[in-house]
Structure 1
Amino acid sequence: MGEHTIALKEWASTISALLEGEQLILLRKGGIHEETRHFETRSDSFYLYPTYEHQRRELLKPEVRHYVDDSLRELESPGLLTGQTYLYAWAEVADDFLVTSEQELSRLYDFHMWEANFAEERLRWKRQDPLHVLLLRVHRLNRPLHVPALPEYGGCKSWIELQELPRPDKDNLTPVLSLTEFAEKARVLRRALRSS
């Protein structure tokens, strides 16, 4: 799979939080239909491909549940082309932490949008595998891309290869956070994860 065409599937609501700088991390164990049966980082940079079907308001903290509502309104927007998916974000992996205990996970509670029970459920699923905490530096696409919503992009898998879509041009990318802002937020997160 070529790096320039890879995309990570993620809830549209989560992508919105990433694009607003409200969140820097994703929690991943992998989809049910992963080729390797567990999650692995397939590239250090990729598009974020929005998904809608598994989003549930009650899985998010009350103060951020509006992200689900907003994403569903966007999905029903008359401006959205039928059979198309819009890409708004490009991400670079700054770190991939492996979390194996609820104690470690609890230290990240303030850094993500999910209710504690849902985050813990992700940790417990496929218990033998660690939970990947991807620290991402996210860039907004100045000119969003629309791609066909092909059947092969569906299903419970993390990674997809987007057909005939190159890496974004640098002039089409705006970092959500400046390098200084990102470095400071990443420092705070790393310190929390290391604390005892």
Structure 2
Amino acid sequence: MVFPPLDRALKEWPAAIAALANGDSILLLRKGGIQEPQGQFWPATTAVWLLPSIEHQQPEALRVPAEAIAHEVPEQLELSVWAEISQAIPLPAHFPLTDLSASTVWTTAFLEQRRHWKPEQPLWLLVLRTYRVPESRSLAWQASYRGCRSWITLAEPLSRQDSEPVLSDRAFADQWQAIAEILQRGGLTLDGLPTAAHAAD
């Protein structure tokens, strides 16, 4: 498949990007920052580079070894993973988060904290199909990438040539099936969303 160059990016903590890049997770749970357009998080694009950021990172919020937590981001970034956002689902206010937490790098306590910030806005569940490029794309960190916002337009589009999915169709479908079952147990109706079988087609 041919993927055109891409200049959109989603800022995320390095530990979460690593889990996506390793195939350990296909989920992000996001609320957005105070500088989002219209003041709220909204998944307005379907493909993004995953841009490491440590803004507001809380080591105690992560279920990963301490040595796996990045404490700085280099001025010269090397981007090697991007993702298709295959689902963007606003979670109900009282949806149980414990089982979803186990599919992410975050603790349940942190996800509850994230949900209760701006309680009038939903916590978004993003299902991502992550891809790797064979050679990382160099990108100089710019002041315009800073700030409490999720979505970034890069200084120039970066090539996605020869990208390969991190997970096979079957492996991705299996993870999505497990997540869909968690959502259904929590009372979320998935009418209109693709099943795992469709995801593997």
TM-score by length of 1: 0.85
Deviation digits for residues 168-189 of structure 1, max 9, x if unmatched? 11x1x12111011001110111
CA distance in 1, matches of 2:159, 2:42: 21
Asked whether 1:33 is paired with 2:35, we answer yes
Query: Equivalent residues in 2 for 1:1-196 (5 A)?
Result: 4-61=6-63, 63-68=64-69, 71-72=70-71, 75=73, 83-169=75-161, 171=162, 173-196=163-186
Which stretches in structure 2 are left out of the alignment for 5+ residues?
A: 187-201
What secondary structure, in the 3-state scheme, does the structure 2 residue paired with 1:180 have? helix
Deviation digits for residues 115-142 of structure 1, max 9, x if unmatched? 1111001111111111101010111121
Shift of 1:103: 3.4
- Do 1:99 and 1:105's aligned partners in 2 also have CA atoms closer than 8 Å? no
- Do 2:15 and 2:105's aligned partners in 1 also have CA atoms closer than 8 Å? no
Deviation digits for residues 84-116 of structure 1, max 9, x if unmatched? 122121100111111123433233122111111
CA distance in 2, matches of 1:19, 1:161: 21
Shift of 1:53: 3.8
AA partner of residue 36 (structure 1): Q
Identity between Structure 1 and Structure 2 (%): 33
Where in structure 1 do 4 or more consecutive aligned residues deviate above 4 Å?
Answer: none
* CA distance 1:138–1:64, change in 2 (3 Å): farther
Shift of 1:35: 1.8
The structure with the largest helix share of the pair is 1
What secondary structure, in the 3-state scheme, does the structure 2 residue paired with 1:190 have? helix
What secondary structure, in the 3-state scheme, does the structure 2 residue paired with 1:107 have? helix
- Do 1:102 and 1:120's aligned partners in 2 also have CA atoms closer than 8 Å? no
Deviation digits for residues 32-70 of structure 1, max 9, x if unmatched? 111221111121111011112432321112x444431xx
AA partner of residue 113 (structure 1): V
Cα RMSD over matched residues? 1.8
TM-score by length of 2: 0.83
What secondary structure, in the 3-state scheme, does the structure 1 residue paired with 2:137 have? strand
Which stretches in structure 1 are left out of the alignment for 5+ residues?
A: none
CA distance in 1, matches of 2:140, 2:82: 18
